[in-house]
Chain A
Amino acid sequence: MSEKSGLLIDSLERQGVSRRTFLKYCATLASLMALPPAAGRAFAEALAKATRPSVIWLSFQECTGCTESLTRSYTPTLESLIFDSISLDYHHTLQAAAGTAAEAAREAAMKLNWGKYLLVVDGSVPMKDGGVYSTIAGISNHDMLMDTVKGAAAVIAVGTCAAFGGLPKAQPNPTGAVAISDLVKDKPVVNISGCPPIPVVMTGVLAHFLAFGALPELDKLGRPLAFYGETIHDRCYRRPFYDQGKFAKTFDDEGARQGWCLFELGCKGPVTYNSCATVKWNDGTSFPIESGHGCLGCSEPDFWDAGGFYRALSLPANPLHVAATAVELGAVVGVGVALANRARKSAARAGHESATLADLEK
């Protein structure tokens, strides 16, 4: 832990990472973060001189998908350059220690790096019934967060659960889940939303903090603008079909085969800010829309309760035929859909039967 500290460049050299590899990585990272190209060199110089930061990682109400995304992306990764270079002093999913020894490690890291460590959190915090729905070593998530945040330089909320409450907060929110930013008010909080988030976004924020001693510019929801500045729709390769009014109506019709826009199949790309369309997933292979499925909107607040993954947002705006009649037609269709939905909801409620644990085990 503390004995592992030192300059980042030395740590990379020990791992056999050459200076040119590092410079190339910094140029690419600067490009992904939309920094001016000349900033790549400054980025590299500052990053090389940075000391390895102590990171304490708390996992609360979450599924471990975020940790999986960040640690098990393709191998070897550019991201691993940074991840291998931080001093990860506490992460109860990854560390060998457990119980009292693990908690002692967290307390020791806090004491040693007071005021300087980065606190990474994935998962939301249950507030109902005194926070009993998620505890670690007998400590509620709320108490552990508030205790650990005291000595942190900044907080990085990783994943939509930590950033906005995510799945645990979905209606009816049985545990009273809240986001990290609902609780932490006196420290800078960066939200890296996504279910899971894109690994390079996490490393980009870490690298920016290490190099410049400050967090990158954030949007109104606390997300780094470099990665969440545009919608999926803005950068989607199927966008020309949207503009031409060509939409797939089912997942296996001729339009789907031709790669037409998935808007009418419920794609949430137009209201979702993230960089999946440019950074992509799985070693830059593709992103959901490229695999034929609409965007679920997973980096936006309350995406689970956004009205159904396969329900279109609204009537698409047709840039060539925007007229009052179309708006009126849209309003009529909207009312019709709303009535149909209400009727469907009432029928579902009337037909609902409670299931017991015994039923599930049958």
Chain B
Amino acid sequence: MGLGDIPVLVEAGGLTGSAPAVLREIVALLERLTQFGEAGSIDLHGLPLSPADRRWLLDQLGKGEVEIALQAGGGSRFIETAVPGVWWVAHDNEQGVRISEFIEVTRIPDLIPAHPDDVANGLKILKSRLPDLS
């Protein structure tokens, strides 16, 4: 029997008024990104958003063209919303449990580009596989 089978009901609750505040923060972060090139993010974990708030926020942002799946210590999804530069980022652990969630306002999320040290390491490894290059 899973937790879902235990008949404990939680009233869903409607809009709490938090979601428009988050949307305003996204606008402010986007302005900073366009004017100064500075990236920003909002940590959704600590925000008291009801399921209705989240749905409202997702509806307002829409779904864009890019969706990136990452496998590093569990799955992560980076979904660009219909507002370019605004990403919905969700990290799961290796058991598939959600461990953190952010809205990132950036051209490309931090975790995606390869780190220069890792690229250099990769080059070294590849060269070692071709003895005439090393």
Contact = CB atoms under 8 A, between A and B. Distances in A.
Nearest to B99: A28
Contact of B7 (A28, A78, A257): A257
B73 A24 contact: yes
Contacts of A74: 95
A19 B111 CA distance: 9
A290 interface: yes
B76 A24 contact: yes
List of 8 A-B pairs having minimum Cβ-Cβ separation, nearest first: A259-B8, A21-B73, A37-B41, A20-B72, A28-B100, A21-B72, A284-B97, A31-B100
Contacts of B72: 18, 20-21, 24
B3 interface: yes
A259 B4 CA distance: 13
A27 B7 contact: no
Interface string A20-46: 110111011001101011100100000
Given A20-B111, A21-B72, A285-B3, A27 B100 contact: yes
A286 B6 CA distance: 12
Contacts of B118: 19
A18 B76 CA distance: 14
A31 B42 CA distance: 10
Interface residues of A, number: 33
Contacts of A32: 45, 100
Given A20-B111, A21-B72, A290-B3, A27 B91 contact: yes
Interface of chain B, helix or strand or loop or mixed? loop
B110 A78 contact: no
Contacts of A34: 46
A290 B6 CA distance: 10
A24 B91 contact: yes
B41 A38 contact: yes
Given A19-B118, A37-B102, A286-B3, A292 B110 contact: no
A6 to B, nearest CB: 16
A290 B7 CA distance: 11
B120 interface: no
7 contacts: A18-B72, A18-B73, A37-B41, A78-B73, A240-B10, A284-B98, A290-B3
A36 B25 CA distance: 14
B93 interface: yes
A285 B10 CA distance: 16
Contact of B93 (A27, A41, A257, A283): A283
Given A78-B73, A240-B11, A23 B110 contact: yes
A76 B94 contact: yes
Interface in B66-109: 70, 72-74, 76, 91, 93-95, 97-100, 102
Given A23-B110, A278-B45, 16 more contacts: A23-B111, A24-B76, A25-B73, A28-B100, A31-B45, A31-B102, A32-B45, A32-B100, A37-B40, A41-B110, A74-B95, A76-B94, A78-B73, A240-B10, A259-B10, A283-B93
